[in-house]
Structure 1
Amino acid sequence: MCTGIQLKTTKGVPVYARTMEFGTSLHSKILVIHPGHKFTAIGPTDDYPGMSWTSQYAIVGINAMDREVIADGMNSEGLAVGSFYQPGYASYMDITSENAKLSLSSIDVTTWLLSSCSNVNDVKEKIKGLQINNGIPIVDGKQTGTTPYPLHYNIHDTSGNALVIECINGVLFCYDNPIGILTNSPTFDWHLTNLRNYVNISPDNKPVTNLVTSKQKNTATPFGQGSGFLGLPGDFTPPSRFIRAFALTQSVLPVDEPLDAITQAFHILSSFDIPEGVIREHTLDENGDPITTYDKTLWTSACDLKNKKYYFHSRNNRTIRMVDLGNWNFHETEEVTSMNMEDSQQVEQLYPVKVPA
């Protein structure tokens, strides 16, 4: 469960923002990774590691499962990439042991793109021949499941170009994304087609309507504001969130400055925030006992792609924080800097102003 959007200022500066929802904690932290850092991807099996490579660019982002893998982030060229869940559709390639070192697991793709590509056109070139294996992450000595994480990928650059990459039945699909929106299943092209069911949606209030009967003429006035959005889906399913994200991003008034667009993006994504308990999944654990998981918003992030600033707030601390990658001191910090993002809510207390004697 994730919702991603793009906004542009009046000067064309793009801002990419997204939410991250999941049924369990992802143990996420903020990572800043130096250029030159070496990575090794998860291979198709425990015995055969995946691709090894060296990062060309600095990266800031949010990791998952205490690993050096980025779930969402931005690099020093202003390229942003996010992993989005796509259950029931994303499926990968059967990689032989001979080709294991040429492949990535699904959770490594975002990190590889951020460390290897400078813009959307660069991504299009470098994913030619990309092999995504069926590798499963291991945390604390145990596999995190029985199947690979089903993901598709949301990509944005400083020119405002956007791209979606999906792997369906082992075949890579690459879609230009003219509206900058992405959610989850089904496939991106289906979501674009589904927009046609909502061409009546408008931010403009409906006018007074004349009601003419055989005996008299009456008028019907909308009860209040927002009648143009009647019929806009309000649930948390991926198709409904896609439509709602499109309607909101198309309707907001453009702003002049990137920071104002960041604020606007957080406002929009607040309407997708899921409190714990609103979505419940009833399944069985490994012993066959019933368990319930609660899908909830874990964190929300936003990127000023021009100025290389990465903003975020978390479920437990709604205060917006920021990492300025453009001004990061790489000479005095570790090759990988990890910062906590799950601290408690920061609340500013106001005090009365003393009246001068």
Structure 2
Amino acid sequence: MCTSISFPAHALFGRTLDLETSFGEQVVVTPRNYAFHFHHRPSVSNHFAMIGMASVVNQVPLYAEAANEKGLYMAGLNFPGNAFYFEQTDPGRENLAPYELIPLVLGTCATLAQARRLLENVHLTAEPFAPGYPAAPLHWHIADATGSLVAEPMDDGLHLYENPADVLTNNPPFPFQLMNLNNYQTLSPNPPENHFAPALDLRTYGQGMGAIGLPGDTSPMSRFVRAAFLRGNAVMDMDDPVRIEQFFHVLGGVSMVRGSVITPEGKNDETRYACCIDGACGVYYYKTYENSRINAVSLFEEDLDGEQPQLFPLVRGPQIHFVNKPRGSDTL
């Protein structure tokens, strides 16, 4: 359960990561000379540097989402019941395990157009990262300053779709999500007009009534509609720091409150973190569930010609700033 959004015109990309438990996530900078190894193709030992959220297993970063130094973004989102990976390789295609897709795309592609050309030849195989690590059922949101697309692995191959909404959630497949938006085209951020019965004296009694009918639940299809509405109407003509805050406000509209979604196993599905990546300057911003302060890691402040990933554990605890001196405290 996740939501990814992009604002290509501002080179801002990010997502919520909704999960019932931690996956060991931390911000990871992978420099240009770290060697990525693959099951069915040669290693890539020199590539574009990247920054994103990942777990690190056996010194290998497993990215949930990342952006490279050229401003290309890619995020994997849960796609259960629909994602399909082949048991056999295809000798005429680029054979990749799902976890290898982000490293290869972001490591070798500078633009969305280049990523599309690579993905058009990809054949995803069912190899897990290691024993005990099943291949996660995923689809991907890829974007840069020129636009965004969706890649969905189905039983007849990897489908690529232009993404005019600049939004991705989970199920159903992307074409159904996009078609469903037709059901909400009468919604508006403006006050409503009385088309119901013009002869009746019907009046607005509060702000926001133009969007009555916007889904409020956290199901994937409803989050897609709500994210598309918020992203499509969000005012972004402000300076960068405020624009970053605005990006997080959009993500806040599709975030999961602890206790509001219970999994079949009885666990809380919640927004463990939300992130915004500024593709123009290489800064990764994030919030965690427990810490709503925006924290940031800059890609270009690190040694990008190194050979080992740089790891930045998440700041998780609450950070409350008192503007006056609380009672019983010697310091502010």
Give the TM-score, by structure 2 length: 0.89
Answering whether residue 320 of structure 2 is matched by residue 347 of structure 1, we say yes
Q: Higher Cα Rg: structure 1 or 2?
A: 1
Number of the residue aligned with 1:14: 11
One-letter code aligned to 2:133: T
- 1:95 alignment partner, one of 88, 95, 103: 88
Number of the residue aligned with 2:234: 252
- Aligned mates of 1:102, 1:253 — CA distance in 2: 41
Answering whether residue 101 of structure 2 is matched by residue 114 of structure 1, we say no
| DSSP-derived class of the 2:268 partner | strand
- 2:115 alignment partner, one of 117, 120, 123: 123
- Aligned mates of 2:221, 2:247 — CA distance in 1: 20
8 Å Cα contact 1:152-1:165 kept in structure 2: yes
Q: Check 1:210–1:161 CA distance in 2 against 1; reply closer, same or farther (3 A cut).
A: closer
- Aligned mates of 2:28, 2:302 — CA distance in 1: 12
- 1:56 alignment partner, one of 36, 47, 56: 47
Sequence identity, in percent?
Answer: 25
8 Å Cα contact 1:85-1:150 kept in structure 2: yes
- 1:323 alignment partner, one of 277, 280, 297: 297
- Aligned mates of 1:129, 1:207 — CA distance in 2: 50
- 2:191 alignment partner, one of 205, 209, 234: 205
Deviations 1:227-275 (A, max 9, x none): 0000000111111111111111111223133333221110111122212
- 1:234 alignment partner, one of 213, 216, 220: 216
Q: Give the deviation of 1:54 after TM superposition.
A: 2.6
- Aligned mates of 1:95, 1:51 — CA distance in 2: 18
- Aligned mates of 1:55, 1:301 — CA distance in 2: 27
- Gapped runs of 5+ residues in structure 2? 326-332
- 1:263 alignment partner, one of 227, 245, 250: 245
Q: Check 1:28–1:208 CA distance in 2 against 1; reply closer, same or farther (3 A cut).
A: same
Number of the residue aligned with 1:308: 282
Number of the residue aligned with 1:33: 30
Deviations 1:260-316 (A, max 9, x none): 32211101111222122221122xxxxxxxx42321111111011112211111122
- 1:279 alignment partner, one of 261, 278, 285: 261
- Aligned mates of 1:254, 1:330 — CA distance in 2: 31
- Gapped runs of 5+ residues in structure 1? 44-48, 283-290, 353-357
Q: Give the deviation of 1:104 after TM superposition.
A: 2.3
Instruction: Choose 23-32 or 247-256, whichever is displaced more.
Output: 247-256
Query: Size of the alignment, in residue pairs?
Result: 324
Number of the residue aligned with 1:336: 309
Give the TM-score, by structure 1 length: 0.83
| DSSP-derived class of the 1:53 partner | coil
Deviations 1:38-74 (A, max 9, x none): 1124x5xxxxx77632341111110036441111111
One-letter code aligned to 1:31: V
Q: Please tell me the root mean square deviation across aligned C-alpha atoms, in Å.
A: 2.6
- Aligned mates of 1:218, 1:189 — CA distance in 2: 39
Number of the residue aligned with 2:158: 172
